[in-house]
Every structure is written in C-alpha cells, then in structure tokens.
Amino acid sequence: MSYQRPKGTNDILPGESEKWQFIEETARTLFSRYQYQEIRTPLFEHYEVISRSVGDTTDIVSKEMYDFYDKGNRHITLRPEGTAPIVRSYVEHKLFGPEHTNPYKVFYIGPMFRYERPQKGRLRQFHQIGVEAFGSNNPATDVETMIMALEFFKQLGIKQFHLVINTLGDQKTRKNYRQALVDYFFAYESQLSEDSKRRLQENPLRILDSKDKADQKLVADAPSILDYLSPEAFQHFTQVTTMLDALEISYEIEPTMVRGLDYYTHTIFEIMSDNPQLGAQSTLCAGGRYDQLVEELGGPDTPGFGFAMGIERLLLVLENEAVELPDLHSLDAYVVNIGANTNVEALKVTQAIRDAGFSADRDVMGRKAKAQFKSADKKGARLVFTLGEDELEAGMINVKAMASGKEKRVPLEAIYSDFAQIFEEMS
C-alpha cells in the first residue's frame, strides 16, 4: 500500500526548499528595515473569527473553509488567511495598549488552507508572506506598504509586474454604492448567474468579483464606486494617488476591483504578474486597508493596512522569468577517503572543517575513489580532499580545487590549525 499527498498540497523537497528559504530570508530582511516584527498565530481558529471578518457571503467562507467540530464540540477552521487571526490576536493581547509601539507592525510567513479547485498557482494548502500595520489612518501608510511589496519583487529579481489600485471608501460610500449596484443589477436580474442573484440580495458588491462570464459582461457597465465616494473617502484616495505620483510609482486604477474578502475599506491593491504563463492566477500580492475590522472583533476603533502574497505563485514567476537564485546549499569541501583505516581520520578532518565554519561532507559508504569523486562533483564541492592510507601514514592530505584543477599536498596538521588559510589559498 502506498499513498499520495492529499490533492492540492505539495511536498517541498530539498532542491526546492532552498528557494523557499531565499524568498523568506529576503522578506525578513526587507520587512525588518520597515520595522515589522514576526508574529505566529495558530493554524486553526474559531470559525467565527474568520466568518465575521472575511464575510459569510464570500467564496472563502461559504465554499472553501476546512472547518470541523473538535472533540469538545467547538466549531474550528483551518485558517484560510492571516489577517483575521492576527486581528484576533491583536485584540486578545491588547497590542493597542500604551506600552506597545503605534503603529504596531507585524509580518507572518506560513501555510493557509482553502478548499479550492487546484490548478497551477492555486492550491488547497498554500503559503503566504504577509504584513499588517495597525493604528495609522495616514495615507502614507498605504503608500509605504505598497512600496515595500513592490520593493520585495524587485529584490527577488522579478521584472514583469504591475500595481493595480482601487478604493472601497468608507461606510457612507458603500451604502450609496450598494444602492446604485442594486438599482443597476436589478434591471438585469434574469441574466445574472444563480450565485449573483443571491448576492444581489445579500452583498451586491460581491457580484463585481464574479467569475461567471455573463455576470462579467454586466459588471463591465456597472456604476463605478469612484462616483460614489464620500468627501472623506475621496480625500483619502486622492492623497494616496498624489503620494504614489510624488514617488514616481506607476499604477493603474481599476474601479471594479473589490477583492474576495469583506473587511476592506478605502485603499485596496493587487500586484499582478505580466507573465502569460500564470493565466488566471496572476495576482501575486493583494491587500488593503481594513479600518473597521479591529472594532468588529471587539477591539477599540483602530485602522489597519496589510497585504499577503502567495509563495507558490512567486516561485512560478521566478521560474518563468528564469531568475537565477543564489546557491544556498554550496559545499566548500568534500573528503574522499580510501581504505578502512582512514575512516576515523576522515571523520576528524570533516569535523575540523565544519568547526572552522565551512560546509563539508565525506563518503560514508566505503565507495571506490572514482565514485567518491563523482559524488563530490555532483554536490558541486569547491575543494576535494583525498585521504588514502599512504597519505595517512605520511600525515598528509591531498587537496584539489575543482574549478581550477590546482592540486597540492598539505600536512593534516594544517587542516586542524588553520583551515581558512588553506581554503583561501586554494580557491
């Protein structure tokens, strides 16, 4: 009996995991420059934390939750995203208190779970890198956070992407806009998909996010939210675009963009890949402002802004754009050992090289010299040391630089006393 991994999940194997480490390291370094600190929340949450935040009528909550009742009859769900759990944590630990910095800025890296139809760039267990900043109303927060995301893509070496923004305004804006949408779509009700007929009653904004072709035709001529902004919402959005212009960041405004989660207010944005290979999964990063969410989950009136990006999609783009990633698994030295008597000395030599702060490996399979050299080559070793019984007797070891072919015999003692010196001389 053998098993396969569950549908929509991936094993991240060596060879691949180095790329993950590179992406995560790049994020950690960049985010800390912007003063974000790491937060880790549980992989599962109370169902209600997610349903109240993301919204009951969204696809995420109504169709894609991995939810269950635990042995204590609690309604639990694997987290489909990171923002709601972090807001729950922010409120629970009173991170808005005077002893904490304001804005309070956190980042996270980890798996999320959505029961979606798996395809390229869309999984059931996928991974996000995200950030959340609490406490600032200032449009400069929107702009610097979007810039940080753009900077991240540049640092990874990704070139083909663009920024799309929109605003969902404040409550007053959405009330007026909702009415405009109801009036518009009501006239075409019979042409709407079954899902959208329901959305028309429950949450007409969701129709704008419909994947249905007939719905999308109607959406193209739907009223624009930009015509319904309250004076405050208009001012916030104008400041955002003015600041983006001042920093010479190019962007598009897409008035029908609504995002698949209900908690957004004011600025929302997506960073899309222009690489044709990604197809429908071209959104690499998405986020926005959520000024009501902290209060919705029982905290004080506190604005928020954040984003998340899918690591699997980043990897697809890196591959499609043929971006060269640094080698994070390089091998400085390989110790070829021939004859059973060299076993202990080979162990000592390899350990000494590791103790000196270099990466080292050796043969432990008792293979022939030729096979050991092949192994060293396959691993990309920079230096290959050879220890035979003759060398051992003479207290010497052979060293070869693989790139130049330069070879030398050095006293074993030199490895123990100053390996760095040998490494520098040979490479």
Least spacing, CB of residue 307 vs ligand HAM, in Å: 5
**Interface pick for ligand HAM out of 67, 132, 291, 391 (rule CB under 6 A):** 132
Count of residues that interact with ligand HAM, criterion CB under 6 A = 27
- Convert residues 58-87 into a mask of x (bound to ligand HAM by CB under 6 A) and - (unbound): -----------------------xxx----
CA separation (Å) from 319 to 27, 328, 380? 18, 17, 22
Looking at residues 218 to 277 of the shown chain, list those that interact with ligand HAM (rule: CB under 6 A).
260-261
Least spacing, CB of residue 52 vs ligand HAM, in Å: 14
Q: CB under 6 A: which stretch of 12-20, 135-143, 302-310, 315-323 binds ligand HAM?
A: 302-310
CA distance 159 to 383: 36
Place of tokens 């759990």: 85
Q: Does 142 bind ligand HAM (CB under 6 A)?
A: no
CA distance 228 to 226: 5
**Interface pick for ligand HAM out of 313, 362, 382, 400 (rule CB under 6 A):** 313
Segments of 323-405 assigned E as strands: 333-337, 360-362, 383-387, 396-401
Please classify residue 256 by burial: count the beta carbons closer than 10 Å to its beta carbon, then call 0-12 exposed, 13-18 middle and 19+ buried: middle
What value, to the nearest 5°, has the Cα angle with vertex 127 and ends 124 and 130?
135
CA distance 117 to 119: 7
Q: Does 105 bind ligand HAM (CB under 6 A)?
A: no
Q: Does 312 bind ligand HAM (CB under 6 A)?
A: yes
Closer of 270 and 332 to ligand HAM (Cβ): 270
| Phi, psi for residue 366 in degrees, rounded to 5 | 65, 35
Residue 271, strand partner residues: 163, 285
Least spacing, CB of residue 289 vs ligand HAM, in Å: 8
Q: CB under 6 A: which stretch of 120-128, 210-218, 235-243, 415-423 binds ligand HAM?
A: 120-128
Q: CB under 6 A: which stretch of 23-31, 123-131, 136-144, 169-177 binds ligand HAM?
A: 123-131
Place of tokens 């109303």: 137
Residue numbers at the binding site for ligand HAM (CB under 6 A): 81-83, 114, 116, 121-123, 126, 128, 130, 132, 260-261, 283-288, 306-310, 312-313
